[in-house]
Structure 1
Amino acid sequence: MAAPPNVLVLSGHDPSGGAGFQADLEAIGALGAHPAGVLTALTRQDTHDAYDVWPIPDERFAAMLDTLTADMPFAAIKVGLLGSPGQARCITDFRQTRPGTALVVDPVLRAGGGGQLAADPVARALIDVLLPIATLSTPNAGEARLLCPDAADLDDCGRQLSRGQPGWVLITGGDEPGDTVTNSLFHDGAPVRRFHWPRQPHRFHGSGCTLAAAAAARLAAGDDVPAAVAAAQQYVADALAAGFMPGGGQMIPGRLPRRAP
């Protein structure tokens, strides 16, 4: 049997299993790729909110990354929560030696419940070293505004983030008001592509991680960016429809087929 394509996951650990590393593993595996990766941080969070972040030390992160990637080839990389600017530079150095590997960056700057997940130096590292080399970045509306504080509106954010860059930017609208969720795909010099989805009646924890990981899996399988983005959104819509509430806070996407116990 031919091996599935490998996707390198670099994200934080969510003890609730709703977001972060576990969400990435589930989504990538469900879409037929093989996830392997290195944790960027441990967190204290639940289905309500995130409260603390404890970064993996840069030297340990780099050592784990070097060991893993010396053994396995990767068709795509998915980056979520970063623990430090040093991790961003390490990932950038790794990616520059593999320019043909798709890089999906989900700029996790705060939790869905409002808790702060990254300090300003991490955001600066995202802007300066990671986003310019990303194949696709997937900020939600709030994150896009944090990355572009002087932007006039979300479209201006998309133009700023994609201007002069080779990659694509998908700004998601799940955190915006309204009965319809509008996601907008930007590419420098190209018309904006809009995707409209009916809003689910619940709040979800981990939908952004799920979307970015799904896009990475589809890019690893050979899709171009617009096709990967479209397929990832459909997967997320199905996962949200199958969502469930494991705790007392937000629901999480049903990323995997499940049987009743």
Structure 2
Amino acid sequence: MTPPRALTIAGSDSGGGAGLQADLRTFFACGVHGMTAVTAVTVQNSVGVSGITVIPPEVVVAQIRAVATDIGVQAAKTGMLATAETVSAVADAMAEFPSLPLVVDPVAASMHGDQLLRDEALDALRTRLFPRATLVTPNLDEVRLLTGIKVTDRDSQRAAAVALHAYGPRWVLVKGGHLWTDPSCVDLLYDGSGFVELDGPRFDVKDTHGSGDTLASVITAALAKGRSVPDAVRLGKGFIVESVRNAYPLGAGVGPVSPLWRLPDADAFLRME
């Protein structure tokens, strides 16, 4: 039986911890066939990024159309889009599939809070892609870059959700992982009429590479399986808690969160005869 199919429109992480590699790993763990439209190739390891080659926007769009018109897509997500031209091209391509659920992970800040996208690309996210999104999933550094709001407590987290929703997405998920003053990790879901708080434990770990990608991918996989947005986000929250709990060290820098906890017996194939 053909499984549900999900598409990630994202950059490649040569270290395998984030980007489309994390997306595909998570899709597999959720029982979904993953497909890719590569937006950029990074030279990257656990220490950092030392080079980026951007894929031409027309090639990104061609990848989207190739898989969507032949294989079919039940849900899609975006990750690193790199340039304003790519953001606009992806928005135009998604407009060709108006009923397709789209999760926008607005990769705009590094794990240290540094801006990764130029201002014109941030504006393209707000004006071109957010109105097409089913859900946007920014972290607090991305919230600051997109809205100018520095989230310091639950009230400003709610204000940020309202500001983001005004750009046109159906749902907003403001992640609370970077709100270090909060003893727990509360993500806030907002649909323009009501708020849902999703609480979770905060772990004292450094290996959190790919956490945003993994969360957005679980939500996308759940949408591909026909779940509602609130259900998909709740499933994503539970999944990322376990992925952070099972994060592992890798290289000399920051290791990735691990969706491998979903595999009941990862060594079973070694016993096959």
User: TM-score band (shorter)?
Assistant: over 0.9
1:156 aligned onto 2:164: no
Q: 1:49–1:111: 8 Å Cα contact kept in structure 2?
A: no
Q: 2:143–2:150: 8 Å Cα contact kept in structure 1?
A: no
**Aligned runs of 1:40-59 on 2, under 5 Å?**
40-59=39-58
Q: 1:44–1:51: 8 Å Cα contact kept in structure 2?
A: yes
The residue aligned with 1:225 is 229
Shift of 1:161: 0.9
> What root-mean-square deviation, in Å, do the aligned CA atoms of Structure 1 and Structure 2 show?
1.9
The residue aligned with 1:139 is 138
In the alignment, the residues of structure 1 paired with residue 219 and residue 240 of structure 2 have an alpha-carbon distance, to the nearest angstrom, of: 10
What SS is found at the alignment partner of 2:185? strand
CA, structure 1 residues 138+247, in 2 after alignment: closer, same or farther (shift >3 Å)? same
In the alignment, the residues of structure 2 paired with residue 72 and residue 196 of structure 1 have an alpha-carbon distance, to the nearest angstrom, of: 37
Shift of 1:81: 0.5
Residues 209-241 of structure 1, C-alpha deviation per residue, up to 9 Å, x if partnerless? Answer: 000011000000011000000001111111111
Shift of 1:151: 6.8
The residue aligned with 1:175 is 178
Gaps in structure 1 of 5+ consecutive residues: none
**Aligned runs of 1:27-42 on 2, under 5 Å?**
27-42=26-41
**Aligned runs of 1:99-110 on 2, under 5 Å?**
99-110=98-109
1:200 aligned onto 2:203: yes
Q: Return the TM-score normalized by structure 2.
A: 0.89
CA, structure 1 residues 12+145, in 2 after alignment: closer, same or farther (shift >3 Å)? same
Identity %: 32
The residue aligned with 2:240 is 236
In the alignment, the residues of structure 2 paired with residue 44 and residue 175 of structure 1 have an alpha-carbon distance, to the nearest angstrom, of: 26
What SS is found at the alignment partner of 1:181? coil
In the alignment, the residues of structure 1 paired with residue 211 and residue 169 of structure 2 have an alpha-carbon distance, to the nearest angstrom, of: 26
Q: Return the TM-score normalized by structure 1.
A: 0.93
CA, structure 1 residues 118+166, in 2 after alignment: closer, same or farther (shift >3 Å)? closer
In the alignment, the residues of structure 2 paired with residue 30 and residue 83 of structure 1 have an alpha-carbon distance, to the nearest angstrom, of: 27
CA, structure 1 residues 259+117, in 2 after alignment: closer, same or farther (shift >3 Å)? farther
Shift of 1:97: 2.1
In the alignment, the residues of structure 2 paired with residue 186 and residue 51 of structure 1 have an alpha-carbon distance, to the nearest angstrom, of: 36
CA, structure 1 residues 121+54, in 2 after alignment: closer, same or farther (shift >3 Å)? farther
What SS is found at the alignment partner of 1:198? coil
Q: How many matched pairs? A: 259
Gaps in structure 2 of 5+ consecutive residues: none
Shift of 1:259: 3.2
The residue aligned with 2:88 is 89
Which one is further off, 213-222 or 87-96? 87-96
CA, structure 1 residues 126+164, in 2 after alignment: closer, same or farther (shift >3 Å)? closer
In the alignment, the residues of structure 2 paired with residue 39 and residue 194 of structure 1 have an alpha-carbon distance, to the nearest angstrom, of: 33
In the alignment, the residues of structure 1 paired with residue 20 and residue 78 of structure 2 have an alpha-carbon distance, to the nearest angstrom, of: 10
The residue aligned with 1:211 is 215
What SS is found at the alignment partner of 2:15? coil
CA, structure 1 residues 185+100, in 2 after alignment: closer, same or farther (shift >3 Å)? same
What SS is found at the alignment partner of 2:34? strand
